[in-house]
Amino acid sequence: MSCPIAIAVSSVQAALNDAQWDALIIVASDFTAVTELQAAIHAAAAIDSRIGKETVLLLSEKAPGQRLVLSPTGPLDRDYDDVRSFYDAAKQGIAQAKAAGAKAPALYTIVPDSDAYQYAAEVAYLGACQALWQPLEGREARGEAVLEPVSQIGVIGVSEQQASYISAVEAGKRVARDLCGTEPERMAPRRFADYCVETFAGTDVLVSVETKVDVLQKDYPLLMAVARCSLQVDRHKPAVIRLEYQGEGEIEQTLLFAGKGLVYDTGGADLKIGGGMAGMSRDKGGAAAVAGFLKTVALLKPKGLKIIAEIGAVRNSIGADAFVPDEIITSHAGVRVRIGNTDAEGRLVLADLLSHLREDAKTAVNPTLYSIATLTGHAARAVGPYSALVENGAARRIGLSADLAMIGDLWADPSEISRSRREDFSFIKGRTSADDLLSCNNAPSSVTPRGHQFPMAFLVAAAGLDQHGLNTEQPLPYCHMDIAGSGVDGGDWQHGKPSAAPVAALAAYYCL
């Protein structure tokens, strides 16, 4: 489970003189500033009009391995340009270098004098690693060295400390991609747990896994309603994975994460039809991101920080024992929930996890709660390829989502902020004296007004977090992160590479 290590390189000249590198990738909007290679670039531009317009590979005696890759970012000074231009260009550049046989390329970014691009070199490295990643089951079947021959990337212009940091971020993103992007049998619930146990072995992250059905039925009743039909198949039985980290020194802040780990979502009794089931092995992207962030934390070892995470690894199967709409199930927080749609299963899993974390938060130092999930098609439709952040009043008071969105913009891990409103809480109210809450309506979220906001209201109420609002003695900041739009490259949930959102933003916010 290794990733290409970032190696700090002091300058372009140092890369040209170092035999350990076998290619030079230049990412820039304008290549005229590369004085060491100007003759070669000008000569190529005289006969190739693609220079500066698209990614090209040049033969250059001065370049390491005689491979020179020019990957243009395009304009960087328009109102809407951002650092993703470097991320995308680096993906193109590394693909060319790899195809040409390079195994240890150096990466040089020419960065504008702008705060918006202050981490462009680091972001370019992360983009390159995104392009190089290959699926776990592919690596296992064909060999990691065959599919991922690039073992290190020289990052020109960063310090050794910066190189170590981005290597740790990439290690976390790699864990997230592996867990999210792997097919449903290879990453069945308990194999998901096994991966976590293996990846955190020998680190400061403690892993505990609960698989006893009777314990889960008692402590996670909503989660187990989703898992009920899966109990008929031993390898599909659920697991709750708890990850805990405590940094050195006095604890200054506690983070609590709930991760939706639907290893496969058939939709249950509200079955996905018309091809809508394909790609649902990636419905565990939220849980994958939680584990990925903890991997980065395990490597960076931030002081004064405590993290508790719970992951619900569950399969929503279809069969005679599947849960159905109209059932009323009492959550861990003691709230009676009427099921509105079995394909709105993720919020049921998260609600019980959040209820347990709420109990931890009540005695924690400076707690903040998160849920991360590929929760709604509405989020993808409403904000496109961005993570949707919906926060409660306590989180909004401290500017949590605004800060996360701002730092995400700097690290090519952007978000959009959505407000939680009174209509969301009205929408999920119980309709009879028999139930307290309705989990969902029976229409797709993508055609439901406020289809990614009202699920956050459900999570607040079903997990008991409504008892910790601004008007209470113990307000608990809480932010729900819906990554249905940002979780895979290009929005292709069956074939696209998992993006590992929002690992980079969380790491920069809490560990940088």
Residue 57: strand pairing partners: 69
Q: Return the closest-CA partner of residue 137 out of 190, 196, 178, 95.
A: 178
Give the per-residue SS3 of 291-332: HHHHHHHHHHCCCCEEEEEEEEEEEECCCCCCCCCCCEEECC
Helices then strands (H, E): number in the chain?
18, 17
Q: Which residues of 355-378 are buried (b: 16+ CB within 10 A; e: fewer)?
A: bbbbebbeebeebbbbbbbbbbbb
CA distance 298 to 499: 20
Count of Cβ atoms closer than 10 Å to residue 235 Cβ = 11
CA distance 19 to 23: 10
CA distance 415 to 275: 29
Annotated catalytic residue 218: no
Sheet containing 328-330: give its strands across.
Answer: 328-330, 336-338, 437-438
Q: Could you tell me if 338 and 326 are in contact, meaning their C-beta atoms sit under 8 angstroms apart?
A: yes
The radius of gyration computed from the CA coordinates of the chain, to the nearest angstrom, equals 23
Q: Could you tell me if 404 and 479 are in contact, meaning their C-beta atoms sit under 8 angstroms apart?
A: yes
Q: Return the closest-CA partner of residue 387 out of 406, 405, 370.
A: 405
CA distance 337 to 153: 51
CA distance 197 to 207: 6
Q: What is the distance, to the nearest Å, from the Cα of residue 251 to the centroid of all Cα atoms in its chain? A: 26
Annotated catalytic residue 260: no
Q: Could you tell me if 299 and 401 are in contact, meaning their C-beta atoms sit under 8 angstroms apart?
A: no
- Looking at 181-325, list the stretches that DSSP marks H as alpha helix, in order from N- to C-terminal side: 189-199, 213-219, 221-227, 285-300
Q: Could you tell me if 320 and 268 are in contact, meaning their C-beta atoms sit under 8 angstroms apart?
A: no
Query: Which residue in 84, 139, 272, 396 is the catalytic one?
Result: 272
Directed axis angle between helix 160-180 and helix 189-199, to 10°? 160
Q: Could you tell me if 391 and 418 are in contact, meaning their C-beta atoms sit under 8 angstroms apart?
A: no
Q: How far apart are the first and last CA of the chain?
A: 23
Q: Return the closest-CA partner of residue 21 out of 131, 107, 125.
A: 107
Three-state SS for 21? Answer: coil
Q: Could you tell me if 105 and 114 are in contact, meaning their C-beta atoms sit under 8 angstroms apart?
A: no
Instruction: Return the active site residues.
Output: 272, 347
